[in-house]
Amino acid sequence: MMFGARPRAGEVDKTHIYPKDLVKGAANLGLMAVEVPEELGGTGMDALAYAIAMEEVSRGCANTGVVMSVNNSLYLSPIMKYGTQKQKEEFVTPFIDGEKVGCFGLSEPGNGSDAGAASTTARLDGDEWVINGTKAWITNGYESEACVLFATTDKSLKHKGISAFIVPKPIEGLTLGKKEDKLGIRASSTCNLIFEECRIPKENLLGKEGEGFKIAMTTLDGGRIGIAGQALGIAQASLDCAIDYAQQRKAFGKPIANLQLIQMKLADMEMKVESARLLTWKAAMLKDAGEDFVKAAAMAKLAASEAATYNAHQAIQVLGGMGYTSDMPAERYYRDARITEIYEGTSEIQKLVIAGRLLKEHSI
């Protein structure tokens, strides 16, 4: 393999075309519904298996990884945890084989990290909920055929007045905004969802009215394990690329891998990815054991995303001028890594979660 290249991953990055074949391939391996029970058509595996799968898929193609992450962590997971049997049959089983994927509608143009300030509203009119408002930064926005959506049903209760819904797509009253032209993860569409008097059946309420904020937060906790896995894949791919190049590129009559400066970079990169991997596995194992994994998931997501950006940066440095060109995958890793420090909770939010839990654990 030449410098860690993955031709198909590079192709979808350049064309910005959704990798339907890769998503279908992941589904054929059971990776689009890793933690969904077998009786509903899923793989029936655990969070640790999911984290490992996310890393390996993202090591090859981070675009496929994010589609897989959103479908598993943000779409299927809350329906499995809070949905009715009818909702699971309608909105889980058809979203397992890769033909359909889901999305997650929480962020808005005026709020990202402030998840409790949802301005999108849902009012009950007879047997239907009527939704108005705009959701922003929706991954899989164009490709998805259903959305787990959060909207305010009682403004007087603030975050306790937020409810969760399942919205099928396409549907009358829902339009899609422009596809964002992004730095990285370019083959997965990101757009606004614009709701104008959009009507959905009353039974599409997910969980109980007023449980939306709780559903969103618990969903994101699990989602951070998935994004940690994606970031690990990018970090490992960056290291693979740097090692491969360093062993083949010669300077001063010998491979640059023999130079101590290069060796120190490789050692730092390995330490970053390995320590982040162990944190991610710990978070996944705590989740599987039914223990509190919130702090561990935040630590894993923070460490893994920082490892991804660090390793991608260092990979370009090892490759030098070649790393700055699109002929090499290092520049793609650099672009793809950056978003892992932003979506599903910024690095700053992760630190607040970690500190909050830490102080609670050691309260006097």
pTM of the full structure: 0.96
Q: Do 152 and 40 reside in the same domain of the chain?
A: no
CA–CA separation, 88 vs 105, rounded Å? 18
Per-residue pLDDT of 312-347, as tens digits, reads 999 999 999 999 999 999 999 999 999 999 999 999
* pLDDT score of 4: 59
Q: Are strands 174-176 and 190-201 parallel, antiparallel or unpaired?
A: antiparallel
Query: Residue 259: how many CB atoms within 10 A of its CB?
Result: 14
pLDDT of 3 strictly over 70: no
Q: Do 218 and 333 reside in the same domain of the chain?
A: yes
| Residue 49 located in a structural domain | yes
CA–CA separation, 23 vs 257, rounded Å? 36
| Residue 364 located in a structural domain | no
Q: What is the CATH number of the domain that holds 136?
A: 2.40.110.10
Per-residue pLDDT of 124-156, as tens digits, reads 999 999 999 999 999 999 999 999 999 999 999
pLDDT of 1 strictly over 70: no
Q: Do 297 and 319 reside in the same domain of the chain?
A: yes
Out of 274, 344, 348, 361, pick the active-site residue: 344
Q: Do 217 and 344 reside in the same domain of the chain?
A: yes
Cα 235 versus chain centre, distance: 15
Q: Do 178 and 120 reside in the same domain of the chain?
A: yes
The yes-or-no answer on residue 203 being catalytic is: no
Helix, strand, or coil (residue 257): helix
Residue at a domain's end among 100, 120, 152: 100
Cα dihedral value 326, 332, 333, 337, nearest 10: 150
| Residue 300 located in a structural domain | yes
Helix (H) or strand (E) holding 322: none
Q: Do 254 and 352 reside in the same domain of the chain?
A: yes
| Residue 9 located in a structural domain | yes
* pLDDT score of 114: 75
Residue at a domain's end among 150, 175, 210: 210
Q: Do 34 and 118 reside in the same domain of the chain?
A: no
| Residue 32 located in a structural domain | yes
Q: Do 90 and 218 reside in the same domain of the chain?
A: no
Query: Residue 155: how many CB atoms within 10 A of its CB?
Result: 11
**Which candidate, 91, 104, 118, 108, places its Cα nearest to that of 188?**
104
| Residue 194 located in a structural domain | yes
Q: Do 84 and 106 reside in the same domain of the chain?
A: no
Per-residue pLDDT of 286-314, as tens digits, reads 999 999 999 999 999 999 999 999 999 99
Q: What is the CATH number of the domain that holds 257?
A: 1.20.140.10
Identity at 178, one-letter amino acid code: K
Per-residue pLDDT of 24-51, as tens digits, reads 999 999 999 999 999 999 999 999 999 9
**Total number of domains in the chain:** 3
Q: Do 332 and 248 reside in the same domain of the chain?
A: yes
Q: Give the residue ranges of DSSP H helices in the chain.
A: 7-15, 20-28, 47-60, 62-69, 77-82, 85-91, 212-248, 260-288, 294-319, 330-338, 347-361
Helix, strand, or coil (residue 99): coil
Per-residue pLDDT of 265-276, as tens digits, reads 999 999 999 999
| Residue 168 located in a structural domain | yes
Range of the domain at 152: 102-210
Q: Do 227 and 177 reside in the same domain of the chain?
A: no
Q: Do 89 and 224 reside in the same domain of the chain?
A: no
CA–CA separation, 35 vs 49, rounded Å? 9
